[in-house]
Amino acid sequence: MASINHKQEPSAKDLEIKGMLPVSNKPDIELLVDDQGSLQIKNLDNPIGLLEPEQILSENAEKFEAFDNPILGCKRFIRDRITLYRNRKETTRMYHVWPGKNVFFFGGRLVCGPDPRGFILTTISIVLSSWIFCIYIGYDLKKHSGLVVALAVALTIDVLVNLIMVSAIDPGIIPRNDKISVDGVGSSDGSDSKRVRVNGVEVKLKFCRICKIFRPPRSCHCAICDNCVEKFDHHCPWIGQCIGQRNYRFYLMFVLSALIFFIYIFSFSCRRTVQKMLETKTGLFKTLGNCPETLALASFSFVAMWFLGGLVSFHTYLIMQNQTAYENYRQYHIGSPNPYDKGILSNMKEVFFTRLPPSRVDFRAEMTPETCSEDAKLEHHRTILLNRVNAMKLVEGKHVNKETGDLALTDSDGEHLIEIKSENI
């Protein structure tokens, strides 16, 4: 049973608090009421007891307010919430402590880039184009309008599925090595690089000071996502994700399906324009003036066709040469043989028909302070604490007094819930 210890004789308020404490045969929380009437939690397994106010809560220091007697404000906390504290078991996984800038969804199953604006803009463009086409063009056709609309919807779904696949899959992130120091690497003896032979051609491996690894051939560190990515192609701002070994195939499928989608829209937009010209017996410009939605959709589709067509042509060339966009940009194989070129058919087979390698980082792996690296241990503790507090909606405000180091937690109404003395933090 949780207990209340104090130096003086229990007061009426102390007894009231004690009567509200829940009973449990697995005590793991001890509430202390000191002689000033401040309620404290003294247990290392309790998340509040592990909070480090100077590192986590310093930004709210100016909002700290002292409370002389928080006992009455703790009633709701004690009655409704402490059982959740006692019984809740949080599991910290790799994606909680991953030092990169990726954003994870569904418990680390989806790995996305740090900036979603490009993905959102691309999605809106596709959905809005499809909606305008179906409403103003597809249903206005005299023949086979239902079939035209159905094909447009099917193409839209195909494009969106490929977009989600390329933006939410691990592109080939390489695990970091936090167990070594970089102090001795990169010295004058040239130890910041190694040379290996790939298919008889000497290839230079560079040391990444952020990930603390010698990057495998064709890998590169993405400054936007802050990860080393295997067979790095580029970081696509329109998708918001790195394009690497594990999602390059889906990227090509997305670009190709989007190109077909906009060709389809542009073709029927032109057909509707001709149809309106014949019906009204007017010129092109007057007809387009009477159908502004067709003009806007055809113009946007035309620009998208040229952009996507250029991408398809460029990546077709890269596939035939077995190059990445990054290698082509840096001109790695100018004047020297490409050790990865296996011939056009073999190169295409490698891209489209080989089995995707498993992710090298298990972002759902359970982590403990013992299995975490030294750099990740602090983040491990912070994540556990913040997840527990946020998941249970325990507190709204977390304020620390810079002078005393005491921690105060308040709810959404500003009511004081709990105060923890600095010596117990």
Q: Which of the listed residues 300, 321, 352 is the one where a domain comes to its end?
A: 352
Instruction: Give the range of the structural domain holding residue 415, as residue numbers without chain letter.
Output: 4-92+367-424
Write down the pLDDT at residue 61. 38
Write down the pLDDT at residue 376. 55
Report pLDDT digits (tens) over 361-371. Answer: 888 887 765 55
Q: Per the domain annotation, does 223 fall within a domain? A: yes
Report pLDDT digits (tens) over 20-67. Answer: 433 333 344 444 444 443 334 444 344 343 333 333 334 333 333 333
Specify whether 254 is located in the same domain as 160: yes
Write down the pLDDT at residue 185. 57
Write down the pLDDT at residue 422. 43
Specify whether 327 is located in the same domain as 306: yes
Q: Per the domain annotation, does 121 fall within a domain? A: yes
Specify whether 166 is located in the same domain as 273: yes
Specify whether 209 is located in the same domain as 301: no
Specify whether 207 is located in the same domain as 315: no
Report pLDDT digits (tens) over 222-239. Answer: 999 999 999 999 999 999
Specify whether 296 is located in the same domain as 385: no
Q: Per the domain annotation, does 188 fall within a domain? A: no
Closest CA to 178 of 214, 133, 210: 210
CB 251 within 8 A of CB 314: no
Catalytic residue among 112, 211, 222, 236, which? Answer: 236
Specify whether 285 is located in the same domain as 145: yes
The structural domain count of the chain equals 3
Highest mean pLDDT among 191-205, 298-312, 394-408: 298-312
Q: Per the domain annotation, does 359 fall within a domain? A: no
Positive or negative, the CA dihedral 29, 35, 39, 40 is negative
Specify whether 67 is located in the same domain as 205: no
Rounded to an integer, the average pLDDT of 304-324 is 95
Read off the pTM. Answer: 0.66
Specify whether 266 is located in the same domain as 344: yes
Q: Per the domain annotation, does 282 fall within a domain? A: yes
Is 236 a catalytic site residue? yes
Question: What pairing do the DSSP bridges indicate for beta strands 4-5 and 31-33?
Answer: parallel
3-class SS letters over the chain:
CCCEECCCCCCHHHHHHHHHCCCCCCCCCCEEECCCCCEEECCCCCCHHHCCHHHHCHHHHHHCCCCCCCCHHHHHHHHHHHHHHHHCCCCCEHHHHCCCCCEEECCCCEEECCCCHHHHHHHHHHHHHHHHHHHHHHCCCCCCHHHHHHHHHHHHHHHHHHHHHHHHCCCCECCCCCCCCCCCCCCCCCCCEEEEEECCEEEEEEEECCCCEECCCCCEEECCCCEEECCCCEEECCCCEEECCCCHHHHHHHHHHHHHHHHHHHHHHHHHHHHHHHHHCCCHHHHHHHCHHHHHHHHHHHHHHHHHHHHHHHHHHHHHHCCCHHHHHHCCCCCCCCCCCCCHHHHHHHHHCCCCCCCCCCCCCECCCCCCCHHHHHHHHHHHHHHHHHHCCCCCEEEECCCCCCEEEECCCCCEEEEECHHHC
Mean model confidence pLDDT for the chain: 72
Specify whether 34 is located in the same domain as 136: no
Question: What's the Rg (C-alpha) of the chain?
Answer: 30
Q: Which of the listed residues 303, 323, 352 is the one where a domain comes to its end?
A: 352
Specify whether 279 is located in the same domain as 203: no
- Residue 219: count other Cβ atoms within 10 Å of its Cβ: 22
Q: Per the domain annotation, does 13 fall within a domain? A: yes
Q: Per the domain annotation, does 268 fall within a domain? A: yes
Specify whether 236 is located in the same domain as 340: yes
Whole-angstrom distance, CA of residue 261 vs CA of residue 151: 10
Q: Per the domain annotation, does 183 fall within a domain? A: no
Rounded to an integer, the average pLDDT of 416-424 is 44
